[in-house]
Amino acid sequence: MLASTIFVLWICFFNDIDLFYVIKSKQEVSALKKEVESLKQKNLSSDVALHDLTTNRKSLEKFARETYYMKRPNEDIFVFKQRSN
């Protein structure tokens, strides 16, 4: 009984890979899995946006106007920005 108790204590607290290390590693793996899923969703939405930009001329024009403030030769553009207090 004493030997079993010492063995369990050694494995749980004094070994290089102790109980706290295992718990911390599981939490890190869980966080990384969530990050992978988030990046997969962002990648999917980027693929959809890229497909839309390459196939739809109006969405490409809208993107260019909003992102790079591009304009036609006979237009004036006014950009309104909110103040941050």
More confident call, 3 vs 19: 3
Please give the model's pTM, rounded to 2 decimal places.
0.62
46 assigned to some structural domain: yes
Can you give the residue range of the structural domain that contains 45? 24-68
18 assigned to some structural domain: no
- pLDDT tens column, 33-45: 999 999 999 999 9
74 assigned to some structural domain: no
85 assigned to some structural domain: no
Count the domains in the chain.
Answer: 1
The whole-angstrom separation of Cα 21 and Cα 33 is: 18
47 assigned to some structural domain: yes
Q: What is the DSSP letter of 74?
A: T
